[in-house]
Structure 1
Amino acid sequence: MIKINITAQDTEGTVRQIQEVIGGEIQERWGEYSLILNNEHANGSIRFIDFAWGVSLLEYDLVFFDEVTLIMNASNYNPIHFAYCLEGYCGHRFGYQSDNEIRILEQFQSVIITSRDGGYNYGYFPKDKKLAINVIQVTRKPFLKKRLNSGESLNQKLYEVFLDADHEKVFAYFGSYNLKLADKINALRKVKSKGMIRIMQIEGLVYQILSMHMLQHNSDVNNKPLSTTLLKRELKLVRAYAEKIEKNISVDYSLEDIASETGLTQAKLQEGFKLLYNRTVTEYIRHSRLEVARDYMTTTEMNISEIVYSIGFSSRSYFSKIFKEKYNISPSEFLKKNRKTTVPM
């Protein structure tokens, strides 16, 4: 087992202390840093970005070749950790004699943790397991000051955590599974822009992800979690099929065919799509097609008829009707407004 003592005062210092033990090279571009690893200890990367509003992004995307324990001293740096596993799992415990329980952060689970001043956080990472872990770290005073946010919109428990300027309390919330967070974090990882625009897009997504963590915690403590009979495995099947629909938008999908392909009942499919996307299967397919159509209108030279058939609709009039209902503008008007050149319609 590899043990790494973390006494740093910020996220960058944390990653540099990890580097001292397991090696690798830190690369920087546009204010975005990555520890690149390809040695006997690990393969992959650890990315970190510090923002000016008391928040930092820390992302693990790697495989450790031995079990790793991070022993993090909360005396110098004790942010609120908003964590999420896209792949794999990891463990956490507080460093108090009365608390020896290691709690597992499972795949697709929202977790919020902070220690008390002078305490310790222990992070446990498994061996030979692909890890994709997103951690947003919030330093309370600068966050509340920079964001002009006194926190009243949070529920009382989380509000008290933010106002605990002296870090006198511990806090641990291991929430329910949230695949909407997975979609947003995947979008964060797929940002393709460069320079200042890239950092601005990443910062915007980080703020959205942080908000989603907080909203889920609010729902849970108010006893309003989204109830479901679906297992985590079944939710993953629903999400995987939603991604398939987006990649193959023109296919003539039927609920019966999807049920047969996934092995889920039609009722479970409907429940899963409503839970994850707040839409029935049919509504999700229609929404995805309209989003693709709108994208085609701004990025291609296709006319409306070509777009209609390329996304799986057979009726142009029906497409025009639902497009206007959704975007409050007709396809023809949208096309004229968003294309510089005249395109036959």
Structure 2
Amino acid sequence: MTTISLTSTTIKNMFDELNQNFNGNLSIGVKEHVLDIDNEFGKGRIRGITFKSGISLLEFDVKFLQDFTLLAGTSKNPPICFAYCLKGKVSHSFGSQQAKNTLENFQTGILTNRAFEENRLYFEKDEHVKISLIVVKTSSNQNILKQHNLNYRIQKSFINGDRPKNSIYVGSYNLKIADKIQQLEAIQQRGIVRSLMIEGLVHMILAHEIQQHSDDLKNRSFNRGNLNSKEMDIIRKISIDIQNSPEAQHCISTLSRLSGLAPGKLQEGFKLMHGTTVSDYIRAVRVEKAEELIKTSDLNISEVVYSVGFTSRSYFSKIFRQKYNCSPKEYKVHQQLMSLSA
């Protein structure tokens, strides 16, 4: 087993320590640190980003070739950590003597701990793990904390009193967060645009985490439905296929046959992940793809309609207007005028 101790809580120093231990390839962008590993320790990527708001994002997308334990200490004002496991599983304990809690794929977790408490993350050998950690800075100085209103409100919600306690909440499955993380991974922009897009999605993921916690407290019995994690992973893959090929004639019976999931489980999975039915999700993806094509291609409206899988132009115009408050033709004319004036 390999054990690595991190002595710093800042992203910059943390990645310097990780690089010294893993001997990987460290690249630094606009407040974004990326460590690529491909050696005897394992293969994958660790990414860290910090924002002015006092919120940081730490992502592991790795497969270690041996059991690995990461030790991370905290400061006088330990942060609040919101975790989401997209793939595999990771275990955690406070120090070496306390019980482990395991976060499996599609599960959320929220962690608070005492000042200067040691956290231990356990990664199993040959387990491909993808986990995102959103770390929210806290402070004992309320005046400083109130400068970042979001941090102030989160601290008030999850730390009762002046002295935080060791606590870990492992929540129910949530596929909506997986969808947002997928969007996070798909960002191709550079510079300040990239930073703003990442920060916006991180805030959305954080909102989903907090909402999940609130819903679980209300329900008390975690709502995982009748789907296991393998079936939920299938739902996620189907969603990606629909996004990549909206023009295909997707339907419940075809998706059920290809996935091996009963129609009822398909509907339940889409309700959990997207809050809508399969057919409504397909329609929404097609409309968004059509809007992109109208804006960026030379296709006429009829060509756009059929290229994204719709069979009726009048029906497409109706739902396009419902979403964008104008007709496809009006939208295209507006885009053309914008191009001419640019």
TM-score (structure 1 length as normaliser): 0.90
In the aligned structure 2, how far is the partner of 1:133 from the partner of 1:287?
Answer: 28
Give the aligned partner of residue 216 of structure 1: 212
Q: Say whether the 8 Å CA contact 1:86–1:182 is kept in structure 2.
A: yes
Q: Say whether the 8 Å CA contact 1:9–1:77 is kept in structure 2.
A: no
Whichever residue aligns with residue 148 of structure 1, its letter is N
CA pair 96-297 structure 1, distance change in 2 beyond 3 A: same
Whichever residue aligns with residue 333 of structure 2, its letter is K
Give the aligned partner of residue 319 of structure 2: 322
Q: Does 1:297 align with 2:298?
A: no
**Residue 77 of structure 1: CA displacement?**
6.7
**Residue 39 of structure 1: CA displacement?**
2.1
In the aligned structure 2, how far is the partner of 1:102 from the partner of 1:179?
Answer: 24
Question: Could you say what secondary structure the match of 1:276 adopts?
Answer: helix
Give the aligned partner of residue 275 of structure 2: 278
Q: Does 1:195 align with 2:195?
A: no
Q: Say whether the 8 Å CA contact 1:297–1:339 is kept in structure 2.
A: no
Give the aligned partner of residue 108 of structure 2: 110
Write out aligned runs for 1:260-271 (5 A). Answer: 260-271=257-268
Q: Say whether the 8 Å CA contact 2:7–2:72 is kept in structure 1.
A: yes
Give the aligned partner of residue 250 of structure 2: 253
Q: Say whether the 8 Å CA contact 2:136–2:151 is kept in structure 1.
A: no
Q: Does 1:83 align with 2:79?
A: no
In the aligned structure 2, how far is the partner of 1:68 from the partner of 1:24?
Answer: 16
Give the aligned partner of residue 48 of structure 2: 48
Name whichever of 326-335 and 295-304 sits farther off.
326-335
1:237-294 CA distance string (max 9 Å, x none): 2221121112221122222222222222212211221221111111111111111111
Question: Could you say what secondary structure the match of 2:179 adopts?
Answer: helix
In the aligned structure 1, how far is the partner of 2:135 from the partner of 2:339?
Answer: 49
Give the aligned partner of residue 229 of structure 2: 232
Give the aligned partner of residue 335 of structure 1: 332
1:153-205 CA distance string (max 9 Å, x none): x7xxx7453465x5431221101111111111111122111111111111111
In the aligned structure 1, how far is the partner of 2:211 from the partner of 2:306?
Answer: 39
In the aligned structure 2, how far is the partner of 1:150 from the partner of 1:204?
Answer: 15
Whichever residue aligns with residue 184 of structure 1, its letter is K
**Residue 215 of structure 1: CA displacement?**
1.0
CA pair 342-316 structure 1, distance change in 2 beyond 3 A: farther
CA pair 9-247 structure 1, distance change in 2 beyond 3 A: closer
Question: Could you say what secondary structure the match of 2:146 adopts?
Answer: helix
Q: Say whether the 8 Å CA contact 1:255–1:266 is kept in structure 2.
A: yes
Q: Percent identity?
A: 38
Write out aligned runs for 1:65-104 (5 A). Answer: 65-75=65-75, 78-95=78-95, 97=97, 99=98, 101-104=99-102
**Residue 96 of structure 1: CA displacement?**
6.8
Give the aligned partner of residue 140 of structure 1: 138
**Residue 308 of structure 1: CA displacement?**
0.8
Question: Could you say what secondary structure the match of 2:219 adopts?
Answer: coil
**Residue 138 of structure 1: CA displacement?**
0.8
**Residue 226 of structure 1: CA displacement?**
4.4
Unaligned runs of 5+ in 2: none
Question: Could you say what secondary structure the match of 1:339 adopts?
Answer: helix
**Residue 144 of structure 1: CA displacement?**
4.4
In the aligned structure 1, how far is the partner of 2:61 from the partner of 2:255?
Answer: 32
CA pair 7-76 structure 1, distance change in 2 beyond 3 A: farther
**Residue 43 of structure 1: CA displacement?**
2.2
Unaligned runs of 5+ in 1: none
Question: Could you say what secondary structure the match of 1:113 adopts?
Answer: strand
Question: Could you say what secondary structure the match of 2:116 adopts?
Answer: coil
Q: Say whether the 8 Å CA contact 2:172–2:224 is kept in structure 1.
A: no
Q: How many residues align?
A: 336
In the aligned structure 2, how far is the partner of 1:72 from the partner of 1:6?
Answer: 5
CA pair 45-270 structure 1, distance change in 2 beyond 3 A: closer
Give the aligned partner of residue 173 of structure 2: 177
Q: Say whether the 8 Å CA contact 2:2–2:69 is kept in structure 1.
A: yes
Whichever residue aligns with residue 119 of structure 1, its letter is E
TM-score (structure 2 length as normaliser): 0.90
Q: Say whether the 8 Å CA contact 2:64–2:124 is kept in structure 1.
A: yes
Q: Say whether the 8 Å CA contact 2:173–2:223 is kept in structure 1.
A: no
Whichever residue aligns with residue 70 of structure 2, its letter is L
